[in-house]
Amino acid sequence: MAFYRLFTGGCSKLKRPDLRPILFLPILTSGGVINLRWPTITKIQDVQKLQRAFWIQSYMNPLLNLFRTGNVVQLVSKMTGCTLQILQTLDGKLIVDAKGSVGYGAFNASWTVINEGENKVRLHNNNNYLAIVDGYTQVVRLPPDTKHGVETKFHVSQAGEWALFQSVHEPNHYIAVFPDGYLRPAKDSIRGPNAHFGVQLISSPYAQTHPKK
């Protein structure tokens, strides 16, 4: 079974004319087909016993391995087939929905990973971080060198080929989506399809490209 899917296509039926995308450009690696370089199993011999279990779970798991620091990913909602994206309201407020396009040109739907170990991650788009605050998923602006709060930290887990993102600060609160693409309050979420996301790898500092034939 594949642990992540290659998603294509757009989501024009869910577009919102009252909002506009924020065009933040992630740093992309050279083009081509992305192949992950897998760490060799001998490296875990130098890691403590408890850490070894997390190493195996993450780096020998094709889905969780996508959440390595520096990777840029898109999160495709199982409910909508569209991505989590940042939008700006008419009054300048940044919000998130699950109506974004999929692919290399969808910059406002591309999230850079910061992995803090034990499957704890932070996800940001040009320093705008996904967060769960008081039971709601939102965006928190944290410029470089700003101290991060726990509200932007998520525990990423797996249900089949789908990823789930649970707040570390607010247990049992997940990033979740309604079928119309609006975000479901995290406080009302469960580990069901509303909280399931496919993972599209956009770029990786660990990537290799196939040589041209």
Q: Is 9 left (phi over 0), alpha (psi -120 to 50) or beta?
A: left
* Average confidence (pLDDT) over 60-77: 89
pLDDT at residue 21, rounded to an integer: 46
pLDDT digits (tens, 9 = 90+) for 90-149: 888 899 999 999 988 899 999 999 999 999 999 999 999 999 999 999 999 988 887 888
**For residues 33-56, average pLDDT:** 37
Enumerate the β-bridge partners of residue 189: none
pLDDT band at 186 (very low <50, low <70, confident <90, very high): very high
pLDDT of 188 above 60: yes
What pLDDT, on the 0 to 100 scale, is given for residue 207? 57
Q: What pLDDT, on the 0 to 100 scale, is given for residue 199?
A: 94
By the 8 A CB rule, do 152 and 130 touch? yes
Q: For residue 42, which amino acid is it?
A: T
**Structure confidence at residue 11 as a pLDDT band (50, 70, 90):** low
Please provide the average confidence, as pLDDT, over all residues in the chain: 76
**70-106 pLDDT tens trace:** 999 999 999 999 999 999 888 888 999 999 999 888 9
Q: Which of 162, 147, 169, 25 is nearest to 86 (CA)?
A: 25
Confidence band, pLDDT 50/70/90 cuts, at residue 49 = very low
Q: What is the pLDDT of residue 122?
A: 97
Which candidate, 133, 30, 128, 33, places its Cα nearest to that of 86? 128
Domains delineated in the chain: 12-208 (2.80.10.50)
Torsion of CA 70, 140, 62, 48, to 10 degrees: 80
- Indicate the range of 8-17, 78-87, 186-195 predicted with least confidence: 8-17
Provide the β-strand partners of residue 111: 73
pTM for this one?
A: 0.73
